[in-house]
Each structure stands twice: as C-alpha cells, then as structure tokens.
C-alpha cells in the first residue's frame, strides 16, 4: 500500500513537471510588466494573439510583475540571460535600472531595428522621449529601450482641501499667494476649529523638501533617500537655477536649513502627524488620512486630472496649487520603458510587437483596458466604463508604453487624452536633461551615505527632531562617510556632460 | 529496613525541589511560555480590530472597536485564497513525504560502517552546507537545465535534499540502531531493503518525525521559490507567497511613492489593510500550529524508546 502511495505521489509530481509542447509554429515572445494586478489574462491574450499573428508573426505571453516582485524577477531574468523572457520593463527607478543595465549589455541596441521596422513608432513617440532614451550603452551611443509616452513631466503641487479651507474662512486665491513659510496661520486656525487631534499638514516629507527648496532628483543618485540636489529656477524651469548647473549636498544648503527649521516649528506646534516621520508608517498614514480627508494642506506630485479623482474619492473639493511649471528631468523622462533582453531569440519579432503596441490604438487598448464587452463597455458618448471583470485584469496603465493612444474613460471625461498630450507635450525640459550620474566609482561611499541619510533625513524633513542639534550631527556624519568624494565625482561628470 | 527507608527518602529528596524553588521555576517557565504565545495572541487581536481603531491608536491589545471585516474580505478572496491554501497543503505534504524518503535513504548507508563509499557521500552532502552556488547560477540550473518553472516541481524539488537533516538522521541512526540488530536481521535472512523498512525504520520513527517536522515547516513557510520560479502560472501559488506579495507591494510603494507619484497613491489604495494581513497570518499559522502537537508526541516518545532493552 505504501509503495503504491509513493508511486502515486511521484507520478503526480511528474505530471506537474511535464510541460506540454505546443504544436503551434509561431514563436512565443514574452514580455514582463511592472505593477500589475492581473489574475486572469486569458480572454485578452486570445484576442491579442489573433491580432498580432500576421502583423508581428509571433504569439504573446505576459509575465505580470507586481510592485513588490518585479525587481527580483526582472533582475533574475536578465542576469541569468533567461531566453524565455524577451522583453522587460525598465526605467530610472527599478532594480533593472535602464542606464546601468544598458551599459552592462543586458539590453538590445534598437537603432537598427528602429531604422528598419520603426517608422510608426518614431511617428508616435515625441522626439524628446527618444532623445531621453539615447544613452551610452554596451554597444555605444544609442537607444536601448522603447520609451513610453506617459506622464513624464513632474509638477509638485500643494494638495488643498478646499472644503475645509472655506469652512475656515479662507479662499483658494489667498492660499495661492502664500508660500510654505506662511502656512502657519492657516494651520493654527484649522487646529483651533477641528480640535487638538487634527493634523492639518499632511506631507510626504521627502517630496515636501524638494517642493520648498525647488530642488530636483538627480538620476543615478542614492535610491530612496536622495543626497544630491540640483536647484532649479522656479520662475522658468528651463533656465538655470540660483546655483547654476552644480550639484550640491542637499542637506548643507541654507535653503535646507531654513526649511527644516520651519518644519520643526510646525511639528512642535502639532501640525504634523508624528506617524509621518517614521518610514514604516509614513505612507500608510498618508494614504489613509487623505482618503478620510482629514487634512488641510498636503503634498502631491501631480498627474493630469488627479484633482477629479481625488475629489471624488475623498468626498471633498480638492485643488492642486503648483509650485512650478511642469518640468521634464531625466528621472521622469525615463519613467517607463520596455527593453528587449539581449538573450532573447526573437529580437525582431519583439521589436515589431513593441512598435505596434506603441502606435496601434486597438492593441494598446486591448492590452491595457481589456476586451470590450468583458472588461469594459462603451457608453453613449463613446467613453469607456469598466465592468467588474476589470478587477481581474488591471495592468499598470502608464507602465505599458504610449498611453496617449488610449481612448478616454468615463472617469477621466471626454477629451482627457487630448489635454494629456497638450499638458505633457508642452512641458519644458530642465537644462541638464539626460544627465545620469554613473555612481559605480563611488558605490561604497553611496552605500555609506545612504545609510547615514536614512537615519536622519526623514525625521528632519518631517520636523520631528530639532535641527539645531541634529542637522550639524547629520552633516558631520555625511562628511565622515565621504560626501565630498561623492559630490566631486558627480560634479565632474555633470561638467563633462554639459560640455558635450 | 530503617536504613533502607532513609535511603529512599534521600533519594526522593534528590529528585524534588523546595516549594520556593518550584514556584520560581514555574514562574520563569510560565513567563517564557507566555512570551511565546503573546505575539500570536496579538496577531489574532489585530486581525479582529477595526481599521478605524488601528488608524486612531495603532496596534493595541485593547482596541477601541472590533470588526470581522478582515475575515469577510479574506473569504471574499474566494478562489484565490482556497486555491493557494490547497497549494500550500499539497506542496507541504508531497514535499515532506518525498524529502523524508530521500533523507532516510541517504542517511542510512552513511550510518552503515560496512558501506565502502561512506566518506565520499558524507562529504558530498556536507560540502553543500558550506558552499552554495549563488542565486543566479542556482536559478539558471533550476530553470533552464531542470525546467523548474511555473510548475509544482519548482516549489518542491529545490528543497528536497537537506544536508542538515541528513546529518540529524544519520546521528539518530548511530545512537539508536545498534549494528548487532542489523547483523541479527541479516543472519535471519533479511535482505537490505527488508532490514531497513521492517527493522530500522520502526526504531527511528521519532527521528523521522523530527526530520518530517523540520521539512514540513520549511515547505510551509517557503515563499522565495514562488517568487523566483512562478511567472505565468500563478494558479499554483502557495498561501505564504500570497501574503508575502501583499507585504512586498506595500513596502515597495511606501519606498518609491515619491518617485512614482500619483500611480503609487492609486495603487496603495488597492492594498489590503493591516487587519487583513494579520487575518492571513492567522490562516497561515493555524494548520502548522495544529500539526505541532502531533509531531511532538513522536519526538518526546523518542527520548524514552529504545530497541535494545536492559
């Protein structure tokens, strides 16, 4: 009996192992996306494969990477030269960072393929995005990934709870005239009206710092806690900032000092929720409090049309007051791309597919929104309304490529994609667009500095600690960890880049 | 007679403690046991805590209000939950049975002094404890050479052979199975397989239970293999990975929200609540907590049972 049992178990396992060989002649190309929430893609892929069989000459399979597991999966697939993964999402902020991986030869150089099969792609993607993807890779200067036309301009805004603001007797126009340093009056009033347990200032501390000091992220800088700042000109984002095109230790500037001192004042006055100063609870607290509309002013990196979504889901009137015009920097312009794995057996088919995906509205809609009649329906105005089935098929819209060819949804309103193109297409580039700091020569310093910054920066930015004592200690610790070496390396590279 | 009783009393004294010492021991051990169960009790309480209460006062043993919302959500997960629950059981049971068989079959010859290549095989298993292949080479071997991807085998095979368990098993053979017994069996005409299955295995049941427990825990808790080898066929995802994925999504979005912007805020809203995570932990812990006492019986029995009496 036991023998039979063992035999049965062994057999059942072998059955699990045997992958049935497909009798289909078309090659299978596989693409790995980021940030998806997809549990059932069968209906979509069936339609996609019907459609691309002639146009691309291949069958598509998709690996739906999620926010949490994409980094590991993508790095494994690329580093192990896994030929079963043909195309991989890449960008400036994921583990398979575009510039590094292109330099190390993990991505196929696309220039020849673009010349041969990419006419439609070139027509669909703005030249500035092609430019942003042109970098020094393993096979010389060129394009190593198809850059998606998404919300690639950055605009940091004050997120204002207008409903509460009016309740307090202020108008939006009054707030527009104010700066971060004048908000105290509003907060005091809010505290007075809403009681002691109400925290009017709901911030992402790191974003707030950039908003107040008008500094921007430098691509290639230490990941979650940035060390370098490039100060921009808030009046004209395409002009040089107050310090010119020089990278600075962001924690050593007078702007930073003034910011953290004021922030500490706000914190001490009880305007900021202490949970925001703790890395583990910061994001959860922010999301929850936002949804409950229990704030007066917050920070938000803007995306076009977000005020409508935000107002609807929070049940209040939300307005976003921009700190600067939208600007295009390296990080955001390399925000979502798809590269072809250099181990792929079908680079030509893969490229044809990417070109089609980014230029053909039918295919993009199908892969992004699902199948009409199953995942969405069109209402009388021709706008898309999602059905319940959409919950099983929710890819990350902006991570897929050219989203400007998508139809408008009912939630976004008619004409959304048109204004999308106007808004992002009209965004100005910062002077050093395209510069990526290659940190390999100072990787050790960066790791050490990142640890120091992780210890101090969030608490300082949130105002939880006294800058009079903590800021000097922080700066001393940064110096000891090699901040100057790090800065010098970065500035030398920036100079060389701008000289070109 | 008197002398005898005195001796007996002294003997009894030696094995007993004063009431005070007893009390201290009970207190210390009681506190220790309490420390062991408190985290779990805390998790159960949090899973029944309402979201509102978590937001207001954080995790607490005495929440402001209770709710079964998290459990309702878990049951609403429906198919996904039960399927991954089934997968976890399937992988654990199949994996444990196979790995125990492999472990016993490998450890038995290592214990037999008359096996010529004993040292070689000993070394072969031991060396893998010290040197690993590294993640990427292991991944390449498993995926490209062995075809372990998107199937149950990918979640079972990499954990089947465990050198530590083999050493445990071999030591158990050495301490509880006398060579004389095997010689006696041979003289009585028993073949090698028959000796192993009929004579040796019944003696080392407690050892097998120990190894089985270790293996079952390893299989039940495993999520990293799913992360590595499951790409397209998510239907065979075990429960641990379902939970781990939620956790990793939340962590990632928290860390990168300032770079991803609005998309991250929108995605974060879809994430399960704190109490839901704890409810899933309860689901994960329960079966293994139920399995423990069962195994423990054998493990304790192993301390008192022997094959050669007297």
Contact A173, A219 (CB under 8 A): no
Q: How far does the CA of residue B3 sit from the closest CA of chain A (Å)? A: 58
- Whose structure tokens read 């290639």? A220
Who among A6, A17, A151 is closest to B101 (CB)? A6
- Three-state DSSP at B186 gives helix
Q: pLDDT value at position B305? A: 52
For residue A217, which residues of chain B lie inside 8 Å, CB to CB?
Answer: 259
For residue B149, which residues of chain A lie inside 8 Å, CB to CB?
Answer: 84
* Mean pLDDT, residues A360-370 taken together: 94
Q: Do B261 and A69 touch (CB under 8 A)?
A: no
Q: pLDDT value at position A20? A: 43
- Three-state DSSP at A248 gives strand
Report which secondary-structure segment, H or E, holds A484.
helix A483-499
Q: Do A303 and B262 touch (CB under 8 A)?
A: yes
CA dihedral B188, B194, B195, B198 (to 10 degrees): -100
Contact B245, A74 (CB under 8 A): no
- List all residues of chain A from 363 to 402 with a beta carbon under 8 Å from chain B: 396-398
User: What is the per-residue pLDDT across B61-82, written as a single tens digit (0 to 9) for each?
Assistant: 888 888 888 888 777 777 788 8
Contact A9, B98 (CB under 8 A): yes
The pLDDT-based confidence of B309 (bands split at 50, 70, 90) is very low
Q: What are the backbone angles phi and psi of residue B52, rounded to the nearest 5°? A: -55, -45
Extract the tokens encoding A152.
């690639």
Report which secondary-structure segment, H or E, holds A6.
helix A2-17
Does residue A11 sit at the B interface (CB-CB below 8 Å)? no
Looking at per-residue confidence, does A402 or B52 come out higher? A402
Report which secondary-structure segment, H or E, holds A31.
strand A28-33
Report which secondary-structure segment, H or E, holds A443.
helix A443-461
Q: Which residue of A has its CA nearest to B93?
A: A9
The pLDDT-based confidence of B9 (bands split at 50, 70, 90) is low
Q: Do A76 and B139 touch (CB under 8 A)?
A: yes
User: Which residues fall within 8 angstroms of residue B293, CB to CB, at 6 or more apart?
Assistant: none
- In this structure, what DSSP letter does residue A378 have? E
- In this structure, what DSSP letter does residue A277 have? G
Q: Which of A301, A329, A341, A400 to mutate to test the interface with B (most CBs of B within 10 A)?
A: A301
Q: Are strands A337-340 and A145-147 parallel, antiparallel or unpaired?
A: antiparallel
Secondary structure (DSSP) of A127-165: HHHHHHHEEEETTEEEE-EEEP-SS--B-EEEEEEHHHH
How many helices and strands in chain B, by DSSP H and E?
Answer: 17, 0
Residue A392: domain span: 25-149+332-423
Q: For residue A229, list its beta bridge partners.
A: A248
Q: Are strands A59-64 and A28-33 parallel, antiparallel or unpaired?
A: parallel
Extract the tokens encoding A430.
């910062």
Contact A32, A145 (CB under 8 A): no
User: Which residues fall within 8 angstroms of residue B282, CB to CB, at 6 or more apart?
Assistant: B43, B44, B47
Does residue B77 sit at the A interface (CB-CB below 8 Å)? no
* Mean pLDDT, residues A311-333 taken together: 88
User: What is the per-residue pLDDT across A120-149, written as a single tens digit (0 to 9) for each?
Assistant: 999 999 888 888 899 888 999 999 999 999
Query: In whole angstroms, what separates CA A478 from the centre of its chain?
Result: 27
ipTM of the predicted assembly exceeds 0.85? no
- Whose structure tokens read 């004579």? B199
Residue A115: burial class (beta carbons within 10 Å; 0-12, 13-18, 19+): exposed
Who among B55, B152, B259 is closest to A93 (CB)? B259
pLDDT at B14 over 70: no
Who among B251, B258, B267 is closest to A301 (CB)? B258
Extract the tokens encoding A22.
């497909």
Q: Which of B257, B226, B84 is nearest to A73 (CA)?
A: B226
Q: Which of A1, A19, A59, A69 to mutate to test the interface with B (most CBs of B within 10 A)?
A: A69
pLDDT at A476 over 90: yes
What CATH number corresponds to the domain at position A366?
3.40.190.10
Q: Do A284 and B254 touch (CB under 8 A)?
A: yes
* Side-chain-side CA neighbours of residue A68 (13 Å): 18
**Sign of the CA dihedral with A116 first, then A122, A127, and A131 last:** negative
Measured CA to CA, the distance from residue A367 to residue A353 in angstroms comes to 12
For residue A72, which residues of chain B lie inside 8 Å, CB to CB?
Answer: 227-228
Q: pLDDT value at position A236? A: 87
Q: What are the backbone angles phi and psi of residue A297, rounded to the nearest 5°? A: -130, 135
User: Please, what is the end-to-end C-alpha distance for chain B in angstroms?
Assistant: 28
- List all residues of chain B from 13 to 72 with a beta carbon under 8 Å from chain A: 55
Query: In whole angstroms, what separates CA A93 from the centre of its chain?
Result: 7
Q: Do A66 and B245 touch (CB under 8 A)?
A: yes
Does residue B270 sit at the A interface (CB-CB below 8 Å)? yes
pLDDT at B172 over 50: yes
Does residue B105 sit at the A interface (CB-CB below 8 Å)? no
Provide the number of CB pairs (under 8 Å) joining chain A to chain B: 130
Measured CA to CA, the distance from residue A470 to residue B110 in angstroms comes to 61
Q: Do B263 and A35 touch (CB under 8 A)?
A: yes
> Which of A277-286, A415-424, A487-496, B28-37 has the least mean pLDDT?
A277-286
Q: Which of B280, B140, B112 is nearest to B199 (CA)?
A: B112
Extract the tokens encoding A370.
């699902």
Range with the largest mean pLDDT of B179-183, B260-264, B302-306 = B179-183
Q: How far does the CA of residue B255 sit from the closest CA of chain A (Å)? A: 6
Measured CA to CA, the distance from residue A210 to residue A216 in angstroms comes to 6
The pLDDT-based confidence of A267 (bands split at 50, 70, 90) is very high
For residue A84, which residues of chain B lie inside 8 Å, CB to CB?
Answer: 143, 149
Contact A276, A285 (CB under 8 A): yes
| Residue A31 located in a structural domain | yes
Q: pLDDT value at position B252? A: 85
- List all residues of chain A from 17 to 76 with a beta carbon under 8 Å from chain B: 17, 19, 32, 35, 37, 39, 61-64, 66-69, 71-73, 76
User: Please, what is the end-to-end C-alpha distance for chain A in angstroms?
Assistant: 78
Q: How far does the CA of residue B36 sit from the closest CA of chain A (Å)? A: 25
pLDDT at A306 over 80: yes
Q: Which residue of A has its CA nearest to B157?
A: A13
Q: Which of A15, A80, A403 to mutate to test the interface with B (most CBs of B within 10 A)?
A: A80
Extract the tokens encoding A132.
């942003």
Query: What are the start and end residues of each CATH 1.10.3720.10 domain in chain B?
Result: 78-304
> Which of A19-23, A320-324, A429-433, B190-194 has the least mean pLDDT?
A19-23
Contact A43, A370 (CB under 8 A): yes
The alpha-helical segments, DSSP class H, found in A236-394 are: 254-268, 279-291, 306-314, 330-333, 347-359, 361-369
Q: For residue A107, list its beta bridge partners.
A: A341
Measured CA to CA, the distance from residue B243 to residue B213 in angstroms comes to 22
Which long-range contacts link A372-377 to residues 24+ away (Cβ below 8 Å)?
A374/A43, A375/A43, A375/A44
Q: Do B144 and A82 touch (CB under 8 A)?
A: yes
The pLDDT-based confidence of B297 (bands split at 50, 70, 90) is confident
Count of domains forming chain A: 1
- Three-state DSSP at A243 gives coil
Looking at per-residue confidence, does A345 or A152 come out higher? A345
| Residue A348 located in a structural domain | yes
- Fold category of B78-304 in CATH: MetI-like fold (1.10.3720)
Measured CA to CA, the distance from residue B242 to residue A228 in angstroms comes to 37
Q: pLDDT value at position A18? A: 44
Measured CA to CA, the distance from residue A302 to residue A367 in angstroms comes to 25
The pLDDT-based confidence of A312 (bands split at 50, 70, 90) is confident
Q: pLDDT value at position B197? A: 92
- In this structure, what DSSP letter does residue B49 have? B
Report which secondary-structure segment, H or E, holds A299.
strand A297-301
Q: pLDDT value at position A56? A: 93
Contact A152, A340 (CB under 8 A): no
Q: Do A282 and B144 touch (CB under 8 A)?
A: no
Q: Do A207 and B269 touch (CB under 8 A)?
A: no
Does residue A125 sit at the B interface (CB-CB below 8 Å)? no
Q: Which of A268, A191, A203, A283 is nearest to A467 (CA)?
A: A268
Q: Which of A299, A303, A312 is nearest to A398 (CA)?
A: A303
Q: How far does the CA of residue A388 sit from the closest CA of chain B (Å)? A: 14
Q: Do A300 and B262 touch (CB under 8 A)?
A: yes
Contact A69, B248 (CB under 8 A): yes
- In this structure, what DSSP letter does residue B195 have? I
* Mean pLDDT, residues B236-240 taken together: 90
CA dihedral A176, A181, A187, A189 (to 10 degrees): -80
Measured CA to CA, the distance from residue B273 to residue A291 in angstroms comes to 13
Looking at per-residue confidence, does A24 or A239 come out higher? A239
* Mean pLDDT, residues A317-339 taken together: 90
| Residue A129 located in a structural domain | yes
Q: Do B136 and A79 touch (CB under 8 A)?
A: yes
| Residue A61 located in a structural domain | yes
Measured CA to CA, the distance from residue A79 to residue A96 in angstroms comes to 10
Contact A296, A160 (CB under 8 A): yes
Q: What are the backbone angles phi and psi of residue A264, rounded to the nearest 5°? A: -65, -40
CA dihedral A313, A318, A324, A325 (to 10 degrees): 70
User: What is the per-residue pLDDT across A177-189, written as a single tens digit (0 to 9) for each?
Assistant: 989 999 999 999 9
Looking at per-residue confidence, does A8 or A91 come out higher? A91
Measured CA to CA, the distance from residue A215 to residue A475 in angstroms comes to 18
Does residue B11 sit at the A interface (CB-CB below 8 Å)? no
């Amino acid at each position: 009996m036991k023998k039979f049992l063992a035999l049965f178990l062994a057999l059942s396992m072998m059955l699990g192992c045997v992958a049935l060989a497909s009798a289909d002649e078309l090659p299978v190309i596989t693409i790995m996306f980021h940030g998806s929430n997809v549990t059932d893609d069968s209906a979509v892929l069936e339609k996609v494969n019907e459609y691309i069989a002639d146009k691309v000459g291949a069958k598509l399979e998709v690996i739906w990477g999620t926010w949490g597991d994409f980094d590991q999966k993508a790095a494994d697939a690329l580093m192990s030269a896994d030929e079963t993964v043909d195309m991989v999402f890449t960008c400036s902020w994921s583990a398979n960072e575009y510039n590094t991986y292109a330099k190390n030869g993990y991505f196929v150089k696309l220039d020849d393929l673009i010349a041969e099969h990419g006419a439609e792609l070139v027509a669909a993607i703005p030249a500035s995005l092609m430019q942003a993807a042109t970098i020094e890779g393993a096979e010389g200067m060129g394009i190593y990934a198809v850059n998606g036309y998404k919300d690639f301009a950055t605009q940091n805004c004050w997120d204002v709870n207008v409903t509460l603001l009016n309740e307090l007797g202020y108008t939006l126009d009054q707030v527009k005239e104010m700066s971060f340093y004048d908000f105290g009056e509003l907060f005091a009033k809010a505290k007075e009206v809403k009681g002691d347990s109400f925290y009017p200032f709901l911030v992402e501390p790191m974003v707030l710092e950039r908003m107040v000091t008008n500094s921007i992220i430098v691509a290639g800088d230490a990941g979650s806690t940035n060390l370098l700042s490039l100060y921009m000109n808030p009046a004209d984002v395409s002009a040089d900032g107050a310090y010119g095109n020089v990278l600075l230790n962001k924690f050593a500037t007078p702007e930073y000092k003034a910011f953290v001192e004021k922030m500490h004042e706000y914190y001490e006055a009880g305007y900021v929720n202490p949970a925001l100063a703790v890395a583990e609870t910061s994001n959860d607290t922010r999301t929850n409090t936002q949804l409950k509309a229990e704030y007066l002013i917050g920070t938000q990196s803007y995306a076009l049309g977000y005020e409508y979504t935000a107002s609807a889901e929070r049940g209040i009137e939300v307005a976003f007051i921009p700190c600067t015009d939208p600007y295009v920097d390296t990080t955001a312009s390399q925000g979502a791309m798809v590269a072809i794995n250099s181990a792929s057996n079908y680079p030509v088919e893969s490229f044809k597919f990417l070109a089609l995906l980014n230029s053909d509205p039918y295919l993009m809609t199908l892969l992004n929104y699902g199948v009409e009649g199953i995942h969405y329906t069109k209402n009388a105005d021709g706008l898309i309304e999602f059905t319940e089935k959409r919950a099983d098929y929710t890819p990350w819209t902006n991570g897929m490529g050219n989203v400007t060819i998508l139809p408008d949804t009912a939630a976004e309103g008619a004409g959304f994609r048109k204004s999308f193109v106007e808004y992002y297409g009209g965004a100005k580039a910062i002077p050093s667009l395209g510069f990526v700091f290659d940190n390999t020569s100072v990787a050790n310093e960066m790791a050490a500095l990142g640890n120091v910054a992780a210890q101090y920066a969030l608490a300082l930015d949130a105002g939880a600690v006294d800058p009079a004592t903590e800021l000097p200690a922080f700066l001393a610790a940064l110096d000891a960890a090699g901040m100057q070496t790090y800065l010098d390396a970065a500035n030398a590279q920036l100079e060389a880049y701008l000289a070109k | 007679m008197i002398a005898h009783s005195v001796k007996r009393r002294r003997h009894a004294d030696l094995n007993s403690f004063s009431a005070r010492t007893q009390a201290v021991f009970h207190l210390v051990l009681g506190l220790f046991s309490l420390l062991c169960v408190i985290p779990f009790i805390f998790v159960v309480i949090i899973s029944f805590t309402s979201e509102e209460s978590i937001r207001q006062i954080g995790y607490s043993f005495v929440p402001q209000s209770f709710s079964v919302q998290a459990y309702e959500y878990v049951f609403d997960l429906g198919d996904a939950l039960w399927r991954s629950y089934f997968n976890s059981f399937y992988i654990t049971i199949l994996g444990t049975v196979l790995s125990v068989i492999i472990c016993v079959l490998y450890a038995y010859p290592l214990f037999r002094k008359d096996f010529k290549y004993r040292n070689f095989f000993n070394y072969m298993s031991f060396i893998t404890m010290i040197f690993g292949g590294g993640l990427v080479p292991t991944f390449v071997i498993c995926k490209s050479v062995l075809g372990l991807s998107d199937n149950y085998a990918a979640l079972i095979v990499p954990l089947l052979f465990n050198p530590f368990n083999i050493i445990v098993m071999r030591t158990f053979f050495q301490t509880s199975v006398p060579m004389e017994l095997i010689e006696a069996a041979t003289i009585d005409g028993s073949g090698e397989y028959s000796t192993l299955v009929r004579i040796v295995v019944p003696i080392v049941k407690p050892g097998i239970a120990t190894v089985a427990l270790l293996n079952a825990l390893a299989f039940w808790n495993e999520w990293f293999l799913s992360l590595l080898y499951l790409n397209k066929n998510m239907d065979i995802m075990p429960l641990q990975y379902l939970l781990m994925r939620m956790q990793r999504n939340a962590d990632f979005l928290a860390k990168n929200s300032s770079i991803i912007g609005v998309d991250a805020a929108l995605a974060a809203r879809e994430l399960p609540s704190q109490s839901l995570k704890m409810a899933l932990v309860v689901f994960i812990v329960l079966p293994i907590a139920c399995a423990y006492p069962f195994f423990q019986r054998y493990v304790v029995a192993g301390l008192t049972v022997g094959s050669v009496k007297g």
